[in-house]
Chain A
């Protein structure tokens, strides 16, 4: 099929790349908190969906959903800090499994609260950007997807510069390297952790707002986003931004092809299977050297 219908291939590649940039943005947030706080946040996907609902809500009240890209991260930042203060600060220094379970609990909580607040329907915020046709109208490219990819790249670049230049960014990087040393040198690690979690939530908010414009959102759709970002992070490694971007886009393309070839009902399943396959591949590769993933 890939060679018989080249236009579908082009379509899938383009869709996948634009989608992958969004995944990379979410994964960057995950890599950030994983690297700094040593926490795996299962509720990552639910934060994304919550950010999406903020944009959708604005759309319902007649504000153009693109403004959600600005509003949603601000609200999400405070929600993130709130979650940190209530739950995450108690699991930071403990076993990783504790953090996985605790955030799993948060994830279930968020899912259900969103289900109450916004209903169980699949919704999308219509941006009204229209579509671009390419190659004799054989390939359709919604402008909203281009917009979302552009915004994600802008946000990613801003964040990288912020992390490099600002005082908080330096404090975050110092804490990631060695929390104890940073504490001794006068970094308020508690504040750094809160800010990191807030920034992560804000990134999820941006990604969610973009997803609500380009795709659809649903209260129970969070977990796949978590798994995708986890997968991207383990492929790329922590703190490797180009790697995150590349593997994010690769995952996007893989998903589009899985969608076309296997059918939409196997799309999510194939994502989860890919995660298992990647982990198994790395496990066998490492076990030859008598090492293991850790």
Chain B
């Protein structure tokens, strides 16, 4: 246990000092935090519950639009803002900006949660690949439909309020970094707390055999919906932060980007190891480093590289990093191993 505390303290210290040690990578670090949040929330569905969703992007995009809309709409007419395409006709004062952001983030987290509850009731009765394709459809439909709605910018996009002129140039990066790092800590602690309760066992029971879980008297539908709502809460939050960070929202390329972010969160969780607490964190970190490398060195070919990466990870590495470690060092995961038995198994392989 004391080892864990040292680990958490080290990560916390690193997290707080990181933007000052690597000032050039502040934006990248913030994106990394958001990615970890997304991977962790996907893991609640895909890893623990066994419901592989492509639809968490829906909550992410929804949170993004909601946060920005609230931030603008609290002080200025929303339609005119999007009409002007982010021209400097309306300027947020610092107080307005931060107030708007705070309210916006709350809205961005709460509304997707409610939406997840409603949609979840309808579609969580589907199983396996029907659920996967259905959520894929939802994500794309949301992107296409929001691309046709005038008040949030339709096809031309939505410029989020620019950061007010306080504290110099560095302040923006630091603000968003600490915001996303805070969201990351919140998510991680919440998910960790959830994973230590009976709730996680119920989710695992649903994953392993839903019919039997139901026969044992568990109201699976209720827990599935709650699980999805927890995911949606943090996804929406992450989306709201990301919207402010990117500064520009486009319906299909930024918000409901099923081709990028929607696949990334699945991939990160699988790369790290589904169904573990640390897997998505590790997976997201490794993936982000890889991705930035690809994006820098293979500019233009990044999607080709991404496609190949998906195929390779899925086919050759479905257990992920944590799964691999677990197979290699089972003692560290609290599994009692009979040495002779293990040797025999290694020889068999």
A284 touches B145 (CB 8 A): no
B314 touches A276 (CB 8 A): no
The stretch that binds B, out of A94-102, A134-142, A188-196, is A94-102
Q: Which of A75-121 contact B (CB under 8 A)?
A: 87, 90-91, 94, 96-98, 100-102, 104-113, 115-116
A292 touches B148 (CB 8 A): no
CB-CB nearest in chain B for A273: B141
A106→B21 CA distance, assembly (Å):
39
Check A268/B144 contact, CB under 8 A, given A102-B315, A279-B130.
yes
Check A100/B259 contact, CB under 8 A, given A108-B310, A265-B147, A292-B125.
no
What string of 1s and 0s marks CB contacts (under 8 Å) between B117-134 and chain A? 000001101111110111
Q: How many A-B residue pairs have CB under 8 A?
A: 133
User: In the complex, what residues of A have CB within 8 A of residue B130's CB?
Assistant: 234, 279, 293-294
How near does chain B come to A290, taking the closest CB pair, in angstroms? 9
Check A279/B123 contact, CB under 8 A, given A98-B318, A102-B310.
yes
The stretch that binds A, out of B62-70, B84-92, B241-249, B301-309, is B301-309
A102 touches B311 (CB 8 A): yes
B311 touches A275 (CB 8 A): no
User: In the complex, what residues of B have CB within 8 A of residue A116's CB?
Assistant: 300, 304
B127 touches A269 (CB 8 A): no
Q: Of A91, A109, A276, A283, which contacts B141 at CB under 8 A?
A: A276
A96→B308 CA distance, assembly (Å):
19
| B330: interface (CB < 8 Å) | no
B141 touches A279 (CB 8 A): no
| B183: interface (CB < 8 Å) | no
Check A269/B145 contact, CB under 8 A, given A91-B315, A280-B122.
yes
B307 touches A109 (CB 8 A): yes
A272 touches B138 (CB 8 A): yes
| A242: interface (CB < 8 Å) | no
A276 touches B137 (CB 8 A): yes
| A7: interface (CB < 8 Å) | no
Q: Interface size for chain A: under 10, 10 to 19, 20 to 34, or 35 or more residues?
A: 35 or more
Q: Can you name 5 A-B residue pairings with CB atoms under 8 Å?
A: A227-B136, A269-B145, A273-B141, A279-B137, A293-B127
| B30: interface (CB < 8 Å) | no
What string of 1s and 0s marks CB contacts (under 8 Å) between B178-220 and chain A? 0000000000000000000000000000000000000000000
Contacts from B to A (Cβ < 8 Å): 52, 122-123, 125-130, 132-134, 136-138, 140-141, 143-145, 147-148, 154-155, 259, 263, 266-267, 270, 300-301, 303-304, 306-311, 314-315, 318
| A177: interface (CB < 8 Å) | no
Q: Of B132, B144, B270, which contacts A266 at CB under 8 A?
A: B144
Looking at chain B's contact residues, the main secondary structure is helix
| A176: interface (CB < 8 Å) | no
Check A106/B133 contact, CB under 8 A, given A269-B141, A272-B138.
no
A121→B108 CA distance, assembly (Å):
36
| A240: interface (CB < 8 Å) | no
A234→B134 CA distance, assembly (Å):
11
B307 touches A265 (CB 8 A): no
User: In the complex, what residues of A have CB within 8 A of residue B123's CB?
Assistant: 276, 279-280, 283
User: In the complex, what residues of B have CB within 8 A of residue A272's CB?
Assistant: 137-138, 140-141, 144
How near does chain A come to B168, taking the closest CB pair, in angstroms? 40
Check A279/B126 contact, CB under 8 A, given A105-B314, A108-B263, A265-B147.
yes
Interface centre among A98, A104, A268, A283 (most CB of B within 10 A): A104
A276 touches B304 (CB 8 A): no
| A254: interface (CB < 8 Å) | no
How near does chain A come to B136, taking the closest CB pair, in angstroms? 8
User: In the complex, what residues of A have CB within 8 A of residue B138's CB?
Assistant: 272, 276
A275 touches B133 (CB 8 A): yes
Q: Of B122, B134, B148, B304, which contacts A263 at CB under 8 A?
A: B148
B127 touches A266 (CB 8 A): no
User: In the complex, what residues of A have CB within 8 A of residue B259's CB?
Assistant: 108, 111
A272→B311 CA distance, assembly (Å):
25
B263 touches A104 (CB 8 A): yes
A111→B133 CA distance, assembly (Å):
19
B122 touches A109 (CB 8 A): no
B128 touches A96 (CB 8 A): yes
A172→B266 CA distance, assembly (Å):
33
A227 touches B125 (CB 8 A): no
B307 touches A108 (CB 8 A): yes
Q: Of A91, A101, A112, which contacts B304 at CB under 8 A?
A: A112
A98→B267 CA distance, assembly (Å):
11
A109 touches B303 (CB 8 A): yes
A112→B302 CA distance, assembly (Å):
9
B128 touches A97 (CB 8 A): yes
User: In the complex, what residues of A have CB within 8 A of residue B128's CB?
Assistant: 96-97, 294
User: In the complex, what residues of A have CB within 8 A of residue B307's CB?
Assistant: 105-110, 112
How near does chain A come to B43, taking the closest CB pair, in angstroms? 14
| A223: interface (CB < 8 Å) | yes
Closest 7 pairs between A and B when the two form their complex, measured CB to CB: A109-B307, A105-B310, A269-B144, A272-B141, A112-B303, A108-B307, A265-B148
